[in-house]
């Protein structure tokens, strides 16, 4: 597995970087399609970064549950001996990840929460580690950073020295697409299009690209998201709330509090429509 997979677009001096379990499959597939369609060159040279770097992040709380869901799927496929199609490197990485769970006796979501900070000191798999671990990983350096208590500003400035880096939340992509879809079907614009309308929202990470590219991003992103929805490996995080208590959920929020704030997410836990397991008295 390549931990620091990122896309470079030299013509626009920009790099796009998205961690595992943060929508990277959909993002990269979308960007590849629109760049190819417009004959814009790109590469995945992981030892090189362009001047501007967009770091795509997902809500760390949701991503945590998605990571556990990834473990559940891997464990089931392993038990059914259905991992044979993986490459040798991916198979080795997968078995190594499962061994960490087994060695730490993590056999439930509650145990994963309880032992998470110990887990990240024993794992090198960025499917399960915090997003920052992915961003800090260099392909020339095997050392993984699993710490969630350091000074994020200092660490990111050091990692992306001489580069202009900005975070973009994956959830905002969906919000922008939803807004523009509503705009396109409104009575005011239904006969005139939206590309040249001032209300049309573009994507900041495509600020130097044309409006047509912005529109194509919406189309292809929607296509890839819909295509993967039936068999994608991540369940909605709501699926797991019933397996843990409220206190365990708040523990997850506290673990990722500093990362949430640094990425621009609310510090107040969202408890709306969440039903947790009753604690054992």
Contact 129, 123 (CB under 8 A): yes
Q: Count how many domains the chain has.
A: 1
| Residue range 133-148, pLDDT digits in tens | 888 876 555 555 667 8
From 38, 59, 28, 9, select the one nearest 175 (Cα to Cα): 59
- In the prediction, which pLDDT does 254 show? 95
Contact 31, 42 (CB under 8 A): yes
- In the prediction, which pLDDT does 268 show? 87
- In the prediction, which pLDDT does 156 show? 93
- In the prediction, which pLDDT does 133 show? 87
Helix (H, G, I), strand (E, B) or coil at 141: strand
All residue ranges of the chain with pLDDT < 50 are: 1-3
Residue-range definition of the domain harbouring residue 217:
1-281
Dihedral in degrees, nearest 10, Cα atoms 155, 160, 164, 166: -60
Helix (H, G, I), strand (E, B) or coil at 155: helix
Instruction: For residues 7 and 118, give the distance between their C-alpha atoms in angstroms, rounded to a whole number.
Output: 32
Task: Quote the pTM value.
Answer: 0.89
| Residue range 18-37, pLDDT digits in tens | 998 998 999 999 999 999 99
Q: How far does Cα 137 stand from its chain's mean position?
A: 15
Dihedral in degrees, nearest 10, Cα atoms 233, 236, 242, 247: 110
């Amino acid at each position: 597995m390549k931990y620091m997979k990122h896309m470079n677009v030299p013509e626009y001096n920009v790099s796009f970087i998205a961690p595992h379990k943060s929508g990277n499959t959909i993002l990269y597939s979308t960007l590849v399609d629109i760049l190819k369609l417009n004959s814009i060159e790109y590469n995945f040279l992981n030892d090189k970064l362009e001047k501007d770097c967009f770091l795509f992040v997902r809500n760390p709380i949701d991503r945590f549950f998605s990571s556990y869901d990834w473990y559940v799927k891997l464990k089931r496929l392993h038990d059914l001996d259905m991992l044979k199609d993986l490459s040798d490197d991916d198979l080795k990485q997968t078995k190594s990840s499962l061994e960490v769970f087994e060695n730490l006796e993590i056999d439930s979501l509650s145990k994963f929460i309880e032992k998470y900070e110990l887990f990240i000191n024993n794992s090198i798999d960025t499917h399960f580690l915090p997003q920052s671990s992915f961003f800090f990983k260099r392909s020339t350096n095997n050392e993984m950073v699993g710490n969630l208590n350091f000074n994020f500003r200092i660490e990111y400035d050091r990692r992306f020295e001489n580069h202009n880096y900005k975070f973009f939340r994956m959830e905002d992509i969906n919000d922008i697409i939803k807004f523009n879809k509503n705009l396109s079907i409104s009575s005011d614009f239904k006969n005139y299009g939206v590309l040249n309308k001032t209300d049309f929202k573009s994507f900041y990470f495509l600020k130097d690209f044309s409006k047509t590219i912005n529109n194509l991003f919406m189309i292809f992103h929607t296509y890839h998201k819909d295509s993967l929805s039936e068999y994608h490996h991540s369940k909605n995080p709501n699926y797991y709330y019933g397996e843990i208590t409220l206190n365990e959920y708040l523990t997850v929020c506290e673990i990722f509090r500093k990362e949430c704030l640094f990425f621009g997410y609310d510090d107040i836990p969202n408890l709306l429509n969440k039903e947790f397991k009753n604690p054992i008295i």
